[in-house]
Structure 1
Amino acid sequence: MVPTLVITEAAYLIGTRLGAEAEVRFLGDFAEGLFEVESVHPADWLRIAQLVARYRDWPLGTADASVVAAAERLNITRVATVDRRHFSAVRPKHVDAFELLP
Protein backbone atom coordinates (compact mmCIF):
# COMPACT_ATOMS: atom_id res chain seq x y z
CA MET A 1 0.00 0.00 0.00
CA VAL A 2 1.31 3.41 -0.95
CA PRO A 3 -0.41 6.52 0.42
CA THR A 4 -1.22 9.01 -2.33
CA LEU A 5 0.80 11.75 -0.63
CA VAL A 6 3.94 9.61 -0.87
CA ILE A 7 3.75 9.05 -4.62
CA THR A 8 4.66 12.61 -5.59
CA GLU A 9 7.52 12.78 -3.10
CA ALA A 10 8.88 9.41 -4.24
CA ALA A 11 8.54 10.31 -7.92
CA TYR A 12 10.44 13.54 -7.33
CA LEU A 13 13.26 11.77 -5.49
CA ILE A 14 13.49 9.04 -8.11
CA GLY A 15 13.50 11.59 -10.92
CA THR A 16 16.15 13.83 -9.37
CA ARG A 17 18.42 11.02 -8.20
CA LEU A 18 17.94 8.32 -10.81
CA GLY A 19 16.64 10.25 -13.80
CA ALA A 20 13.47 10.63 -15.80
CA GLU A 21 13.55 7.08 -17.16
CA ALA A 22 13.42 5.62 -13.64
CA GLU A 23 10.61 7.99 -12.73
CA VAL A 24 8.63 6.90 -15.79
CA ARG A 25 9.10 3.22 -14.83
CA PHE A 26 7.97 4.00 -11.26
CA LEU A 27 4.80 5.67 -12.53
CA GLY A 28 4.23 2.82 -14.97
CA ASP A 29 4.25 0.39 -12.04
CA PHE A 30 1.17 2.18 -10.69
CA ALA A 31 -0.50 2.04 -14.10
CA GLU A 32 0.09 -1.72 -14.15
CA GLY A 33 -1.44 -2.12 -10.70
CA LEU A 34 1.76 -3.30 -9.03
CA PHE A 35 1.10 -1.04 -6.03
CA GLU A 36 -2.11 -0.49 -4.13
CA VAL A 37 -2.76 3.24 -3.72
CA GLU A 38 -4.30 4.32 -0.42
CA SER A 39 -6.24 7.57 -0.37
CA VAL A 40 -6.12 9.91 2.59
CA HIS A 41 -9.29 9.41 4.62
CA PRO A 42 -10.93 12.41 6.29
CA ALA A 43 -9.86 11.29 9.79
CA ASP A 44 -6.28 10.84 8.55
CA TRP A 45 -5.87 14.59 8.06
CA LEU A 46 -6.21 15.29 11.78
CA ARG A 47 -3.80 12.48 12.63
CA ILE A 48 -1.32 13.73 10.02
CA ALA A 49 -1.50 17.21 11.57
CA GLN A 50 -0.98 15.75 15.06
CA LEU A 51 2.10 13.83 13.92
CA VAL A 52 3.61 16.81 12.08
CA ALA A 53 3.10 18.92 15.22
CA ARG A 54 4.46 16.28 17.58
CA TYR A 55 7.61 15.64 15.53
CA ARG A 56 8.06 19.22 14.27
CA ASP A 57 11.70 19.38 15.39
CA TRP A 58 12.85 16.71 12.87
CA PRO A 59 10.69 17.60 10.85
CA LEU A 60 8.34 14.73 10.09
CA GLY A 61 6.64 15.92 6.92
CA THR A 62 3.14 15.42 5.65
CA ALA A 63 4.05 12.51 3.36
CA ASP A 64 5.74 10.51 6.13
CA ALA A 65 2.95 11.34 8.56
CA SER A 66 0.43 10.05 6.01
CA VAL A 67 2.23 6.71 6.04
CA VAL A 68 1.87 6.52 9.81
CA ALA A 69 -1.79 7.56 9.73
CA ALA A 70 -2.68 5.00 7.05
CA ALA A 71 -0.71 2.26 8.80
CA GLU A 72 -2.52 2.94 12.05
CA ARG A 73 -5.92 2.91 10.35
CA LEU A 74 -5.17 -0.30 8.44
CA ASN A 75 -3.29 -1.98 11.30
CA ILE A 76 -0.11 -2.26 9.22
CA THR A 77 3.06 -2.89 11.20
CA ARG A 78 5.71 -3.16 8.45
CA VAL A 79 6.89 -0.04 6.59
CA ALA A 80 9.26 0.08 3.62
CA THR A 81 11.38 3.21 3.86
CA VAL A 82 14.80 4.67 3.24
CA ASP A 83 14.14 7.10 6.10
CA ARG A 84 14.95 4.75 8.97
CA ARG A 85 15.88 7.61 11.30
CA HIS A 86 12.39 9.11 11.33
CA PHE A 87 10.37 5.93 11.16
CA SER A 88 12.36 4.21 13.90
CA ALA A 89 11.60 7.07 16.28
CA VAL A 90 7.88 7.50 15.49
CA ARG A 91 5.59 5.81 17.98
CA PRO A 92 2.42 4.67 16.23
CA LYS A 93 -0.78 4.16 18.20
CA HIS A 94 -1.28 0.50 17.31
CA VAL A 95 2.20 -0.99 17.93
CA ASP A 96 5.29 -0.09 19.94
CA ALA A 97 7.29 0.49 16.76
CA PHE A 98 7.17 -0.25 13.05
CA GLU A 99 9.11 -3.11 11.54
CA LEU A 100 11.22 -1.30 8.95
CA LEU A 101 12.03 -2.76 5.56
CA PRO A 102 14.49 -3.32 3.95
Structure 2
Amino acid sequence: MILLDTSGLLAAMFADQTDHDACRAALEEAEPPLILSPFVLAELDYLVLRRAGVEAELWLLEEVAEGAYDLASFDHADVARALDIASTYRDLELGVADASLVVLSERHATLDLLTLDHRHFRTVPGVRDEPFSIRPSDV
Protein backbone atom coordinates (compact mmCIF):
# COMPACT_ATOMS: atom_id res chain seq x y z
CA MET A 1 0.00 0.00 0.00
CA ILE A 2 1.26 3.45 -0.86
CA LEU A 3 -0.14 6.96 -0.67
CA LEU A 4 0.30 9.08 -3.79
CA ASP A 5 1.23 12.75 -3.82
CA THR A 6 0.96 15.08 -6.79
CA SER A 7 4.70 15.61 -7.20
CA GLY A 8 5.51 11.90 -7.30
CA LEU A 9 2.75 11.09 -9.77
CA LEU A 10 3.62 14.03 -12.01
CA ALA A 11 7.27 12.96 -12.07
CA ALA A 12 6.28 9.36 -12.84
CA MET A 13 4.08 10.51 -15.74
CA PHE A 14 6.49 12.85 -17.55
CA ALA A 15 9.96 11.74 -18.66
CA ASP A 16 11.39 15.25 -18.51
CA GLN A 17 10.61 15.60 -14.80
CA THR A 18 13.24 15.39 -12.10
CA ASP A 19 13.36 11.87 -10.65
CA HIS A 20 11.08 10.47 -13.39
CA ASP A 21 12.77 7.06 -13.50
CA ALA A 22 12.89 6.70 -9.72
CA CYS A 23 9.26 7.76 -9.25
CA ARG A 24 8.05 5.53 -12.04
CA ALA A 25 9.96 2.57 -10.59
CA ALA A 26 8.62 3.27 -7.10
CA LEU A 27 5.08 3.39 -8.47
CA GLU A 28 5.52 0.17 -10.46
CA GLU A 29 7.09 -1.65 -7.49
CA ALA A 30 4.47 -0.53 -4.96
CA GLU A 31 2.07 -3.14 -3.63
CA PRO A 32 -1.60 -2.28 -4.19
CA PRO A 33 -3.63 -0.45 -3.23
CA LEU A 34 -2.26 2.77 -4.70
CA ILE A 35 -4.22 5.27 -2.64
CA LEU A 36 -5.16 8.54 -4.33
CA SER A 37 -6.71 11.44 -2.45
CA PRO A 38 -9.44 13.26 -4.39
CA PHE A 39 -7.61 16.50 -3.59
CA VAL A 40 -4.38 15.14 -5.08
CA LEU A 41 -6.36 14.05 -8.14
CA ALA A 42 -7.76 17.57 -8.55
CA GLU A 43 -4.28 19.08 -8.25
CA LEU A 44 -2.79 16.54 -10.65
CA ASP A 45 -5.63 16.95 -13.16
CA TYR A 46 -5.05 20.71 -13.29
CA LEU A 47 -1.28 20.34 -13.73
CA VAL A 48 -1.56 17.64 -16.40
CA LEU A 49 -4.13 19.67 -18.34
CA ARG A 50 -1.95 22.81 -18.25
CA ARG A 51 1.27 20.97 -19.00
CA ALA A 52 0.23 18.38 -21.58
CA GLY A 53 -3.27 19.26 -22.73
CA VAL A 54 -6.69 17.69 -22.73
CA GLU A 55 -5.69 14.30 -24.19
CA ALA A 56 -3.26 13.70 -21.32
CA GLU A 57 -5.86 14.85 -18.82
CA LEU A 58 -8.47 12.50 -20.28
CA TRP A 59 -5.95 9.65 -20.16
CA LEU A 60 -5.37 10.36 -16.45
CA LEU A 61 -9.09 10.41 -15.70
CA GLU A 62 -9.57 7.19 -17.66
CA GLU A 63 -6.84 5.52 -15.59
CA VAL A 64 -8.61 6.56 -12.39
CA ALA A 65 -12.04 5.56 -13.74
CA GLU A 66 -10.73 2.11 -14.68
CA GLY A 67 -9.41 1.51 -11.17
CA ALA A 68 -5.67 2.00 -11.63
CA TYR A 69 -5.74 3.85 -8.30
CA ASP A 70 -7.82 3.44 -5.18
CA LEU A 71 -9.60 6.81 -5.10
CA ALA A 72 -10.25 7.61 -1.44
CA SER A 73 -13.48 9.13 -0.24
CA PHE A 74 -13.58 12.14 2.06
CA ASP A 75 -16.42 13.25 4.27
CA HIS A 76 -16.92 16.24 6.56
CA ALA A 77 -15.00 14.60 9.40
CA ASP A 78 -12.04 13.93 7.11
CA VAL A 79 -12.00 17.54 5.94
CA ALA A 80 -12.21 18.64 9.59
CA ARG A 81 -9.15 16.49 10.35
CA ALA A 82 -7.34 17.97 7.32
CA LEU A 83 -8.22 21.42 8.67
CA ASP A 84 -6.74 20.47 12.04
CA ILE A 85 -3.52 19.29 10.38
CA ALA A 86 -3.27 22.37 8.15
CA SER A 87 -3.86 24.60 11.19
CA THR A 88 -1.22 22.82 13.26
CA TYR A 89 1.33 23.24 10.48
CA ARG A 90 0.08 26.61 9.20
CA ASP A 91 3.63 27.93 8.77
CA LEU A 92 4.21 25.27 6.10
CA GLU A 93 1.11 26.30 4.12
CA LEU A 94 0.33 22.63 3.48
CA GLY A 95 -2.86 22.94 1.51
CA VAL A 96 -5.69 20.43 1.56
CA ALA A 97 -4.01 17.96 -0.83
CA ASP A 98 -1.02 17.42 1.46
CA ALA A 99 -3.14 17.49 4.62
CA SER A 100 -5.41 14.86 3.06
CA LEU A 101 -2.43 12.51 2.74
CA VAL A 102 -1.87 12.70 6.49
CA VAL A 103 -5.57 11.87 6.99
CA LEU A 104 -5.17 8.88 4.67
CA SER A 105 -2.01 7.80 6.49
CA GLU A 106 -4.03 7.69 9.70
CA ARG A 107 -7.00 5.93 8.07
CA HIS A 108 -4.93 3.21 6.39
CA ALA A 109 -2.18 2.98 9.04
CA THR A 110 0.56 3.42 6.45
CA LEU A 111 3.60 5.65 6.20
CA ASP A 112 4.61 4.79 2.62
CA LEU A 113 4.29 7.87 0.42
CA LEU A 114 5.28 8.58 -3.18
CA THR A 115 6.36 12.23 -3.18
CA LEU A 116 9.14 14.64 -4.02
CA ASP A 117 7.83 17.09 -1.41
CA HIS A 118 10.44 16.70 1.30
CA ARG A 119 9.75 20.13 2.77
CA HIS A 120 6.29 19.13 3.94
CA PHE A 121 6.56 15.40 4.49
CA ARG A 122 9.87 15.41 6.39
CA THR A 123 8.22 17.81 8.84
CA VAL A 124 4.62 16.62 9.14
CA PRO A 125 4.29 13.14 10.65
CA GLY A 126 1.98 10.40 9.49
CA VAL A 127 0.07 7.84 11.50
CA ARG A 128 1.13 7.42 15.17
CA ASP A 129 3.19 10.62 14.77
CA GLU A 130 5.83 8.60 12.94
CA PRO A 131 7.81 9.96 9.98
CA PHE A 132 6.70 9.12 6.48
CA SER A 133 8.70 6.63 4.44
CA ILE A 134 9.20 8.72 1.33
CA ARG A 135 9.49 7.00 -2.02
CA PRO A 136 11.66 7.03 -3.99
CA SER A 137 14.14 8.73 -1.61
CA ASP A 138 14.00 6.30 1.31
CA VAL A 139 14.29 3.13 -0.77
Match of 1:29 among 46, 63, 67: 63
Q: Secondary structure at the match of 1:14?
A: helix
| Residue 86 of structure 1 pairs with residue 125 of structure 2 | no
How many angstroms does 1:64 deviate by?
A: 0.9
How many angstroms does 1:95 deviate by?
A: 4.7
8 Å CA contact retained: 2:94, 2:120? yes
What is the total number of aligned residue pairs between the two structures? 102
Deviation above 4 Å: which 4+ runs of structure 1?
Answer: none
Match of 1:75 in 2: 109
Q: For the aligned residues, what is the CA RMSD?
A: 1.6
Q: Provide the C-alpha distance between the structure 2 equivalents of 1:28 and 1:8, rounded to a whole number of angstroms.
A: 14
Match of 1:9 among 30, 43, 46: 43
Percent identity over the alignment? 36
Q: Could you list the runs of 5+ residues in structure 2 that have no partner in the other structure?
A: 1-34
Q: Provide the C-alpha distance between the structure 1 equivalents of 2:44 and 2:116, rounded to a whole number of angstroms.
A: 11
Q: Which has the higher contact order (CA 8 A, sep 6+)?
A: 2
Q: Provide the C-alpha distance between the structure 2 equivalents of 1:72 and 1:89, rounded to a whole number of angstroms.
A: 16
- Range with greater deviation from structure 2 (75-84 or 41-50): 41-50
Q: Could you list the runs of 5+ residues in structure 1 that have no partner in the other structure?
A: none
Q: Secondary structure at the match of 1:89?
A: coil
| Residues 68 and 10 of structure 1, relative CA distance in 2, 3 Å threshold | same
Match of 1:55 in 2: 89
8 Å CA contact retained: 2:102, 2:127? no
In the superposition, the TM-score normalised over structure 2's length comes to: 0.66
How far does the alpha carbon of each residue in 1:49-94 deviate from its partner, in whole angstroms, 9 at most, with x for none? Answer: 1111111122000111011101111101101123222112112242
In the superposition, the TM-score normalised over structure 1's length comes to: 0.87
